[in-house]
Amino acid sequence: MSALQPVLDRLDRDLDASLERLFALLRIKSISTDPDFAAECRRAAEWLVADLKTIGFEASVRDTPGHPMVVAHHDGPAGAPHLLFYGHYDVQPVDPVELWDADPFDPEIKERDGVKIITGRGSSDDKGQLMLFVEACRAWKAEHGSLPCKITLFFEGEEESGSPSLKPFLEQYSEELKADVALVCDTGMWDAETPAICVGLRGLVGEEITIKAADRDLHSGEFGGAAANPIRILSKILADIHDDDGRITIPGFYDGVEETPSQILKSWETLGETAESFLGQVGLSVPSGEKDRSVLELVWARPTAEFNGITGGYTGKGFKTVIAAEARAKVSFRLVHQQDPAEIRAAFRAFVKERLPADCTVEFHEHGGSPAIQLGYDSPFLTKARDALSDEWPKPAVMLAMGGSIPVVGDFQKFLGMESLLVGFALPDDRIHSPNEKYNLESFHKGQRSWARILHALTK
């Protein structure tokens, strides 16, 4: 018999016990952004350490200037890979509490629209998610007396409040935390029957530009047609960034951008998402990006330039006929693959300066920059995890990307030199960060089984 099957059987038998453990953790009000709950955050960390010790992990609470981290280690067979699993035990505030159907820290099993759900703050984000992996380890240890590989667990307590202690902690303990690959659970499925692995996270460059002309606002009747108008200049520059086909015209912008493999694009086509279905939820229907690209490719695998705000001149009620002395714009770029944030920033600034009239000036203000994260589509970790997930769920696992970012993934790459495998079992209707957060009972049950399968697959 496969070493996996008895582990899966135990997870089925012990589901009720695993729910009781989850409920105990959910009852702890570990709201990291509110100082009034600092003691509760520590209590959650201590609860996790105590629980992990019952499985045989060498676990400890690690103090930081903010809320504590939890680090735990368990040895594995010689030659087996070393896995680092990351999750966070802190949760968002529950306000407005009057919109909750029940006490957010009194979890229950309920039925909604014929589906059994786990209720409560943190049930999906992220206590329910991190406990899936813990339960998979517990069942494996109970059946075999050991784990199939060396495992390090790293649970953060400040993810919901900006992770101020994370980078210094990773720097300080980089040697201890390094592994062959990081497993990150703070993601979700495509739908209730289709598991997913996130293989790409877009990077970001933010810029604020200010174009100045005259030394004061001017009367448009006296100076119109003669004096430079910063709003018109700025508008023309921004308009020049895209051509008629939606491509970005900044020289060198596409350096490092690779085409998504055809087999991945075909797998995205099977998801059935169309421009109409994707944009329809916000009252739109026609994509505005690069032509001849699917909507999923546009938001998952292509770089962008977006204008997030423009100001200048008189914007109050009524009308004022002035030529503004200056105009401002906030511009953001989403990056993919090997695009370099510093090079993108420099290219954008050069693009603006080249279009600036002789008697105007420009100022730039930087608003952060981070590279994209891309897991190789041929990664053996990726292939094995995809097959393991496909064995558990009704539909094959899909490899998708995310338009946004998960900062810890970039931090693992920067400080630990590690790629991350992003696997989670949340659903879009879990209402994370909102009142009435929930987690499907099936996500909790099959998520445990999925991690057991992934452990087995990665260590075969």
Q: How far is CA 356 from CA 233, 235, 240, 353, in A?
A: 7, 12, 12, 5
Distance from C-alpha of 8 to C-alpha of 357, rounded to nearest angstrom: 69
pTM of the model: 0.88
Where along the chain do its domains lie? 4-201+372-459, 203-257+303-370
Contacts of 187 (CB under 8 A, 6+ apart): 196, 198, 402, 406, 422, 423, 424, 426
Class for the domain spanning 203-257+303-370:
alpha beta
In this prediction, residue 375 has a pLDDT band, given cuts at 50, 70 and 90, of: confident
4-201+372-459, CATH topology level: Aminopeptidase (3.40.630)
CB-CB contact of 207 with 366 (8 Å)? yes
* Whole-number pLDDT of residue 451: 98
Over residues 182-197, mean pLDDT: 95
Peptide bond into 186 cis (omega under 30): no
- Measure the CA–CA gap between 291 and 135, rounded to whole angstroms: 46
Cα–Cα–Cα angle for 298, 301, 307, nearest 5°? 55
Grade residue 147 by pLDDT with cuts at 50, 70 and 90. Answer: very high
pLDDT confidence of residue 1: 57
CB atoms within 10 A of CB 94: 19
CA distance 56 to 69: 19
Task: Please give the distance of CA 442 from its chain centroid, rounded to a whole number.
Answer: 23
Q: What is the pLDDT of residues 288-343, one digit of tens each?
A: 999 999 999 999 999 999 999 999 999 999 999 999 999 999 999 999 999 999 99
What's the pLDDT score for residue 379? 87
pLDDT the model gives residue 374: 85
